[in-house]
Structure 1
Amino acid sequence: MSSIEYSAEISELLGRVRRRPNAGWPWRPGEAVPAGLPVKQSWGWLFVPDGRVLTLVNPRDGVVSLPGGSLEPEDDGDPAAALAREAGEEAQAVIGPAHYLGYLYDRVGSANGGHECARVRMAAALRAVGPTAPDPASGRHYRRLLVAPGLAVELLGWGETGLRQAHAAVATAVAELGVPAAANEAIEELPPSGSFFVR
């Protein structure tokens, strides 16, 4: 097994990573969101050609996330539109068409004023990231890391549910996006100036 490659700067950043407590929302892979259950959030596994995915690190508190967030009126109820918008706002990312993976059932409705809701997960190709800019919703400048999906699960702190999500995302990315099943293991921070990814 080869060692994971990363720079001293990334080592310092990863040393400050803080994981959110696992909420324990049940994962519903491949199931359509039931009629009447509102979709409140959409988050994405965004793949580059070598199989790694984009993760965001908040440098203020070390919390790691996937790109995504809440549906807004301009998304017209479409989780794919919400993901594309949020990825652009948070990571200055340009993505390809999003593929539905399933949803998390939030029974306590922490994203919906105390009423049950769905949190959708999708997979898409990451085509480019532009120069870093603050997220208009929070003012945060996220650090943008490319990592293997398994490491993303570890950084996110999502446990077994997250691993099942990652497997679904990788299977979809292999079939639909042509990425390798075994991702590059190097950890790479994308430069502030941005990057393009050739497919």
Structure 2
Amino acid sequence: MQRIEYSAEIAELLGRIRRRPAAGWPWRPAEEVPPGLPVKQSWGWLFAPDGRVLTLVNPKDGIVSLPGGSLEPEDRGDPVAALAREAAEEAQAVIGPAHYLGYLYDRVGSANGGHECARVRMAAALRGVGPSAPDPASGRHYRRLLVAPGLVVELLGWGLPGLRQARAAVRTAAAQLGVPAAANEVIEELPVTGCEVFPLTR
């Protein structure tokens, strides 16, 4: 088995990770959101050219997440716009066109005042990141890592449903973005000063 490589600093960060309890939302791959079911959140698998994805870690509480969040009025009901905005706010990230993967069905509606809703998942190219800064909405200042999709599922604690979602993201990214299905497994932190990730020519 190949050894996963990362720095001592990242090892210290990963040692403080705390996983949220699994919500158990059913994954609806490639299904359109049914009419009348409101979309309340949009999250993204944002790929680098080597198949790794942008993964956020809150160093204060150890919570790991993918970029994304709730739709706001300025998104005008568009989950693609919401993902681009949230990625910019949380990770100072610039992304390419988003490709729809499916949705999670939240029957309890914890993101919709107790009424059922959909939580959309997408895949996109991570074009680059700007200088690291706190999220203006929450004040959280995330560490920005590139991590292989299967390892992301492990860090999130999503289990088999998360692995199915990751596989759907990888298939789409391989077909639409030309990334390898077998990602680089080195865990790397993006520079705080920002950088280009996915060349604009791709």
Where on the TM-score scale, by shorter chain, does this alignment land: which range? Answer: over 0.9
**Alpha-carbon deviation of 1:2?**
2.1
Unaligned runs of 5+ in 1: none
**Alpha-carbon deviation of 1:191?**
1.2
SS of structure 2 residue aligned to 1:28: strand
SS of structure 2 residue aligned to 1:94: strand
Aligned length: 199
Unaligned runs of 5+ in 2: none
Question: 1:165 corresponds to which residue?
Answer: 165
Question: 2:33 corresponds to which residue?
Answer: 33
Cα distance in 2 between the residues matched to 1:16 and 1:82:
29
Cα distance in 2 between the residues matched to 1:36 and 1:189:
41
- TM-score of the superposed pair, with normalisation by structure 2: 0.97
CA displacement 1:35-75 (0-9 Å, x = unmatched): 00000000000000000000000011000000000001111
Cα distance in 2 between the residues matched to 1:191 and 1:17:
20
**Alpha-carbon deviation of 1:192?**
0.7
The percent of aligned pairs where both chains have the same amino acid is 85
Cα distance in 2 between the residues matched to 1:116 and 1:145:
32
Question: 2:10 corresponds to which residue?
Answer: 10
Cα distance in 1 between the residues matched to 2:195 and 2:14:
21
Cα distance in 2 between the residues matched to 1:49 and 1:142:
22
The reply on whether 1:88 has 2:88 as its aligned counterpart is yes
CA displacement 1:98-140 (0-9 Å, x = unmatched): 0000000000000000000000000000000000011011111
Cα distance in 1 between the residues matched to 2:15 and 2:195:
25
Question: 2:117 corresponds to which residue?
Answer: 117
- Provide the aligned C-alpha RMSD in A: 0.6
SS of structure 2 residue aligned to 1:108: coil
Question: 1:175 corresponds to which residue?
Answer: 175
Question: 1:136 corresponds to which residue?
Answer: 136
Cα distance in 1 between the residues matched to 2:130 and 2:182:
27
Cα distance in 1 between the residues matched to 2:121 and 2:164:
12
SS of structure 1 residue aligned to 2:161: helix
Cα distance in 2 between the residues matched to 1:58 and 1:33:
30
Cα distance in 2 between the residues matched to 1:104 and 1:160:
14
Question: 2:53 corresponds to which residue?
Answer: 53
Specify the code of the residue in structure 1 equivalent to 2:190: L
**Alpha-carbon deviation of 1:195?**
1.3
